[in-house]
Amino acid sequence: MNRAMPGTDATGGAPPAPLLAAIRSPADLRRLPAGELPALAAEIRARIIAATARNGGHVGPNLGVVELTIALHRVFETPRDALLFDVSHQCYPHKLLTGRHEGFSRLRQTGGPSGFCNPAESPHDAFVAGHAGTALSAALGIAAARDLQKLPGHVVALCGDGAFTCGETLEALNNIATTTRRLVIILNDNQWSIGRNVGAIARLLARLSTSRAYNKVHNRIQAAVTATPAGQRLHRLWTLWKRETKDFFAESGFFEKFGLRHIGPIDGHNLPELQKHLEFARDADFPVLLHVITQKGRGLQAALDHPEKFHGAAPYNPGSGETTPGRPGTPPTYTEVFSNALLREADADSRVVAITAAMASGTGLGKMAARHPGRFHDVGIAEEHAATFAAGLAAKGARPVLALYSTFAQRAVDQIIHDIALQNLPVTLCLDRAGLSPADGPTHHGLYDIPLLRPVPNAVIMQPADEDELADMLHTALRQNHGPHIIRYPRGAAAGVKIKESPALLEIGKAQLLQQGAGAAVWSLGAMLPDARALAAKIGARLGGPPTLVNARHAKPLDADLLLRHAREHRLIVTLEDGALAGGFGAAVLETLSEAGLATPVVRIGWPDRFIGHGTSVADLRAANGLDPESIWQKVLPHLPA
């Protein structure tokens, strides 16, 4: 994994990095003279920019924590000490300092290092992460196990300010002081989640970080006192200082009330400062929260100018900041189609309210926020709250649309069951990235939404085969007086069909018969339709006549009438879905046939019962997991009627 691929150099086009090249492990870093560290930081930034410019990735978060990560590895000794990164999208400097710089140009590519932490990749990675808000709970568990076994070692959790909008972070905070005396929490405050951080906690942190203003004012008072004449100027500064200190000391009590010693804010780019404070935290026999102010995107002008775009960027030109344009004629993404379709619905119906959990741009809600700010809510990284909040809105007559990535919706399963479905409330859940997020990998693939939500009474689960159907499904869902209605769609370009002038009302639970044939019936869900068509063509050639082809539209409720008819009229059913097979759409087909006493053979095409890694492309991961066209054909072939 740490070898450069043929045709690429080991640094991926970054300038030479002699200091980094000599660091095989953090022990080498600790031997480096302090005077060399700024040059090392520059080398790390250059490597991050080179790799992300080529492969895409989390640019801003990583450029912001270079000095912080160097200081952490100077003070703590992984793997004896556990260093946990929340989300772990900011772990690139950590990877570069823990023996992974040689393969780093293959970051997020097939065979290269993952963009997130994973103990399977390195013993220096203490815990898997990709979802926000887990670091504190996991760190506390590790600390509790250490205490129980009387083991040596420190535990450090690095959490962004965005992570403090997660319920789980606050739940862990509530437990720390009663669980351990030795835990170091780094609050990496850059004021940004993916977009600007939101809510009262963001405001609280912003006020806390004014202690820098407090310091500045304090210094100016000192200067003014020694200057003459001080007069009014001194008085004005004095008043300001009092206000700042009052706010600061009042707010800093927030973390102290949880039993933590709150230190900071300190400058997260000042290595000696960082090292000094980290040493204090390391040696303390009480839990410490070190509040560190960093600049997201530091060292790349484009990332400083556009923090949201460069939170996680597609491949880009480091000079201009331009991302690589899509091929001309590429259809719009499903996200863009959803964004426009929602706007149309919201324009026509003032009950429509959009909700995001810190993913406004990723889920396409930016236009809604701009056009109907009063009907747009960014609740922070709080999917559970978002779902119950949507239920509350629906209970009082609104038509909430909750836009989440499929993988993050996993957080809200209880709320979808207990707060939405149990009350049959008309909430529309739009699950983007249903299917693979190839470069991000297992933490981000959206493969489990159907199995998680299919057993939920009252839930309707739809998946459009193209962008026109997505608009129809949203239109349809918003016209129901019950719910939840769940619409799932994948990352990336839609099918490229024309979207009708006005969306149509679909019949819930009805499939679309695309082709009546014989021998075998191919039932496809959503964006698997091109694969289903290709498979149907091969089956047709083999059987000497076309098979039946169906666009299922629904994973729940299934069109049982049509399915049972097909099971009786054909000798094989093939199902295709872009989701986990266990409990998925094909499983629903099997259950329906079994309950009707029909034994028609069913071949199910979907993702197997194992976690799927990261890779350069969907095609790579499909090929590696038996979902490429040839593998699909080989699975179906033995079951075709003679």
Q: Cα separation of 25 and 32, whole Å?
A: 12
- Shortest distance (Å) from residue 436 CB to ligand TPP: 16
Sign of the alpha-carbon torsion through 138, 139, 144, 150: positive
Active site (annotated) includes residue 146: no
How many Cβ atoms are within 10 Å of 165's Cβ, its own excluded? 26
- Shortest distance (Å) from residue 607 CB to ligand TPP: 21
Q: What is the DSSP letter of 418?
A: I
Closer Cβ to ligand TPP, 167 or 557, answer by number: 167
Catalytic residue among 74, 182, 296, 553: 296
- Shortest distance (Å) from residue 385 CB to ligand TPP: 11
Catalytic residue among 411, 491, 604, 622: 411
Radius of gyration, CA atoms only, the chain: 27
- Give yes or no for a contact between 640 and 542, defined as CB atoms under 8 angstroms apart: yes
Restricted to residues 321-350, the positions that interact with ligand TPP (CB under 6 A) are none
Regarding 381 and contact with ligand TPP (CB under 6 A), the answer is yes
Residue 239 burial by Cβ neighbours in a 10 Å radius (0-12, 13-18, 19+): exposed
- Shortest distance (Å) from residue 104 CB to ligand TPP: 19
Q: What is the DSSP letter of 13?
A: T
Q: Could you tell me which stretch among 71-79, 353-361, 574-582, 617-625 binds ligand TPP (CB under 6 A)?
A: 353-361
Give the strand order in the sheet containing 460-462: 376-378, 352-356, 399-405, 428-432, 485-488, 460-462, 554-556
Match 């207990």 to its residue by tokens.
418
Using alpha carbons, select from 324, 318, 293, 290 the residue that is nearest to residue 306. 318
Closer Cβ to ligand TPP, 81 or 86, answer by number: 86
Regarding 163 and contact with ligand TPP (CB under 6 A), the answer is yes
Closer Cβ to ligand TPP, 312 or 584, answer by number: 312
Sign of the alpha-carbon torsion through 209, 215, 220, 221: positive
Using alpha carbons, select from 401, 484, 399, 408 the residue that is nearest to residue 445. 408
Q: Count residues near ligand TPP (CB under 6 A).
A: 25
- Shortest distance (Å) from residue 94 CB to ligand TPP: 13
Regarding 296 and contact with ligand TPP (CB under 6 A), the answer is yes
Closer Cβ to ligand TPP, 82 or 379, answer by number: 379
Regarding 131 and contact with ligand TPP (CB under 6 A), the answer is yes
Regarding 132 and contact with ligand TPP (CB under 6 A), the answer is yes
Please name the amino acid found at residue 74: R
3-state secondary structure 252-283: HHHHHCCCCEEEEEEECCCHHHHHHHHHHHHH
Binding mask of the shown chain, residues 171 to 200, with x at each position contacting ligand TPP by CB under 6 A? -----------------x-x-xxx------
Helices (H), 227-333: 231-256, 271-283, 301-305
Regarding 61 and contact with ligand TPP (CB under 6 A), the answer is yes
- Shortest distance (Å) from residue 86 CB to ligand TPP: 6
Closer Cβ to ligand TPP, 170 or 564, answer by number: 170
Regarding 160 and contact with ligand TPP (CB under 6 A), the answer is yes
Regarding 90 and contact with ligand TPP (CB under 6 A), the answer is yes
Regarding 89 and contact with ligand TPP (CB under 6 A), the answer is yes
Active site (annotated) includes residue 538: no
Strand pairing report for 352-356 and 288-293? unpaired
List CB contacts of 149: < 8 A, sequence separation 6 or more: none
Regarding 411 and contact with ligand TPP (CB under 6 A), the answer is yes
Active site (annotated) includes residue 43: no
Q: Cα separation of 435 and 606, whole Å?
A: 10
Instruction: Out of 208, 358, 434, 494, point to the residue binding ligand TPP (CB under 6 A).
Output: 358
Closer Cβ to ligand TPP, 127 or 192, answer by number: 192
Closer Cβ to ligand TPP, 37 or 163, answer by number: 163
- Give yes or no for a contact between 380 and 357, defined as CB atoms under 8 angstroms apart: yes
- Shortest distance (Å) from residue 548 CB to ligand TPP: 40
- Shortest distance (Å) from residue 582 CB to ligand TPP: 23
Please name the amino acid found at residue 242: K
Phi-psi region at 473: left, alpha or beta (left = phi > 0; alpha = psi -120 to 50): alpha
Q: Could you tell me which stretch among 273-281, 351-359, 544-552, 592-600 binds ligand TPP (CB under 6 A)?
A: 351-359
Q: Could you tell me which stretch among 315-323, 352-360, 449-457, 610-618 binds ligand TPP (CB under 6 A)?
A: 352-360
- Shortest distance (Å) from residue 284 CB to ligand TPP: 24
- Give yes or no for a contact between 357 and 382, defined as CB atoms under 8 angstroms apart: yes
Q: Could you tell me which stretch among 6-14, 83-91, 246-254, 333-341 binds ligand TPP (CB under 6 A)?
A: 83-91
* Cα separation values, 151 from 122, 140, 144, 279, 299, Å: 21, 14, 10, 20, 39
Strand pairing report for 376-378 and 460-462? unpaired
Restricted to residues 246-265, the positions that interact with ligand TPP (CB under 6 A) are none
Closer Cβ to ligand TPP, 209 or 600, answer by number: 209
Catalytic residue among 43, 251, 308, 383: 383
Question: How long a stretch of residues is the chain?
Answer: 642
- Give yes or no for a contact between 494 and 529, defined as CB atoms under 8 angstroms apart: no
- Shortest distance (Å) from residue 148 CB to ligand TPP: 29
- Cβ-closest position to ligand TPP: 160
Closer Cβ to ligand TPP, 89 or 604, answer by number: 89
Closer Cβ to ligand TPP, 293 or 368, answer by number: 293
Supply the residues annotated as catalytic. Answer: 296, 383, 411
Q: Which residues bind ligand TPP (CB under 6 A)?
A: 61, 86-87, 89-90, 131-132, 160-163, 188, 190, 192-194, 296, 311, 357-359, 381, 383, 408, 411
